Amino acid sequence: MQKTQNNIGLVWFRNDLRVHDNTSISNALQNHDIVLACYCFDPRYYETSQFGFKKTEKFRAKFLLETVADLKQNLKTLNIELFVYHEYPENVLKAMVDTYSISDIYCQSEWTSEEVNVFTKVKSQLPEHINYHETYDQFLFHPEDVVSDIQNIPKVFTVFRKKLEKQSLVRACTSIESAISNKPFKNDTALPTLQALGFEPFETHPNSAFPFKGGESSALKRLEYYCFETKKLGVYKKTRNGLVGTDYSSKFSSWLANGSISARTIYWQVKAFEKKHFINQSTYWLIFELIWRDFFKYISMKHGNAIFSIGGILKKNYEWKSDQDLIQKWIDGDTKSAFVNANMIELKKTGWMSNRGRQNVASFFAKDMLLDWRIGAAYFEAMLIDYDVHSNYGNWMYVAGVGNDPRDRKFNVDLQAQRYDVHGKFQKLWLQETLF
């Protein structure tokens, strides 16, 4: 496509809040001399869900505000103006198309129901001549390089992983050039405040294992720190099941979730580390975890809304309860398990929980308390800074026995506590919070 001097391209940001390795930005800059961008704090994502929780709680809201502020600054280096609104995208994009005579809209392709519904609303408001450029930019392995028919995605992760490792390659990161902004654009839009999104200002808890700021700049700084400054990557497999502190795991998941860093960027940094220093099980295992992330994205693409149904992708009929008193006890960290309680208090106070903790509290919720797993998933959706629709619902189905685990396992939370919190340091750290 030849560059157009008269028509303006618009990058509509959703869960791809970065400049580096962003295909939408790259394509827009290749096709247009002038590129604008917008991000919408969609009011729908701050409403209460059918299970009684806000879809986005204060922890992720703060992280997102920091992320968009950083994106705005980084886009300026490319001569791209970011317009920010606390408004429905269908209204915003229509106004921008009308005001700036936009011809093309660039965005990341999404396929889960809420995102699809929003895009449908956007298209319904815009004229027919608009060209839409959607790209799959949230994967490690691009769909075109994985499978010709999504229905052929394997049911079991190990089969999926081995097939990918044998047959597919990770693409290079996308290069970016600056736009030629030959006229000024008035932009008096501003980020909403935390209060405008429905929350009071707060300080990060001093014991949080995730005290990091949102944004691509923080993500790249963390990547450099974890790989090269400290070489923590080299012991990742040994420490990844830790519970206390910032460095037992990579902590990349929050930036990955809103797209302020790409899986490809992390992958190629791991490869650079291996080339410069060494290859071991730990360097492989971080890539292994990125493949797990891909797996749940492909599962959601294959099964659609089944990932949100009570029977999951297996369509299994269990007798689930929805006892509000039991649910509240789980949320408050007031169950019979001290290990579960400590993890739930950590989540309530910080918006973070370790991978080991998540598996245990989810299994306890579904397999011990026999509560409707979708309620637990909805609570995680509200609270987690690193909430990702595919991984969240994929993992909850997995532990509830309605997903991709052929063994339908149940975690023994007491044995898990003995193994991963040998001296009770983690439990002491968070159970003391109930005293205040």
Going residue by residue through the chain (436 aa), what tens digit of pLDDT does each one get? Answer: 455 556 899 999 999 999 999 999 999 999 998 999 999 999 999 999 999 999 999 999 999 999 999 999 999 999 999 999 999 999 999 999 999 999 999 999 999 999 999 999 999 999 999 999 999 999 999 999 998 899 999 999 999 999 999 999 999 999 988 766 656 688 999 999 999 999 999 999 999 999 999 999 999 999 999 999 999 999 999 999 999 999 999 999 999 999 999 999 999 999 999 999 999 999 999 999 999 999 999 999 999 999 999 999 999 999 999 999 999 999 999 999 999 999 999 999 999 999 999 999 999 999 999 999 999 999 999 999 999 999 999 999 999 999 998 677 899 999 999 999 999 999 999 998 765 4
Query: Rounded to whole angstroms, how far apart are CA atoms 347 and 417?
Result: 17
Domain with CATH 3.40.50.620 in the chain: 8-137
Q: Which CATH code fits 138-172+213-304?
A: 1.25.40.80
Which homologous superfamily does the CATH classification assign to the domain defined by 309-435?
A: DNA Cyclobutane Dipyrimidine Photolyase, subunit A, domain 3 (1.10.579.10)
Q: Residue 250: what pLDDT? A: 98
Q: How far is CA 70 from its chain centroid?
A: 17
Contact (Cβ atoms closer than 8 angstroms) between residue 344 and residue 351: no
CATH class of the domain at 8-137 = alpha beta
Domain with CATH 1.25.40.80 in the chain: 138-172+213-304
Query: Rounded to whole angstroms, how far apart are CA atoms 40 and 68?
Result: 10
Domain with CATH 1.10.579.10 in the chain: 309-435
Q: Residue 6: what pLDDT? A: 60
Q: What is the dihedral of CA 377, 382, 385, 388, to 10 degrees?
A: 50
Q: SS3 sequence, the chain?
A: CCCECCCEEEEEECCCCCCCCCHHHHHHHHHECCEEEEEECCHHHHCECCCCCECCCHHHHHHHHHHHHHHHHHHHCCCCEEEEECCCHHHHHHHHHHHHCEEEEEEECCCCHHHHHHHHHHHHHCCCCCEEEEECCCCCCCHHHCCCCHHHCCCCHHHHHHHHHHHCCCCCCCCCCCCCCCCCCCCCCCCCCCCCCCCCCCCCCCCCCCCCCCCHHHHHHHHHHHHHHCCHHHHHHHHCCCCCCCCCCCCCHHHHHCCCCCHHHHHHHHHHHHHHCCCCHHHHHHHHHHHHHHHHHHHHHHHHHHHHCCCHHHCCCCCCECCHHHHHHHHHCCCCCHHHHHHHHHHHHHCCCCHHHHHHHHHHHHHHCCECHHHHHHHHHHHCCCCCHHHHHHHHHHHHCCCCCCCCCCCCHHHHHHHHCCCCHHHHHHHHHHHC
CA distances 1 to 28, 31, 79, 182, Å, are 10, 6, 21, 21
Query: Rounded to whole angstroms, how far apart are CA atoms 100 and 252?
Result: 37
Q: Residue 178: what pLDDT? A: 75
Reported as a single tens digit per residue, the pLDDT across 66-77 is 999 999 999 999
Reported as a single tens digit per residue, the pLDDT across 205-227 is 999 999 999 999 999 999 999 99
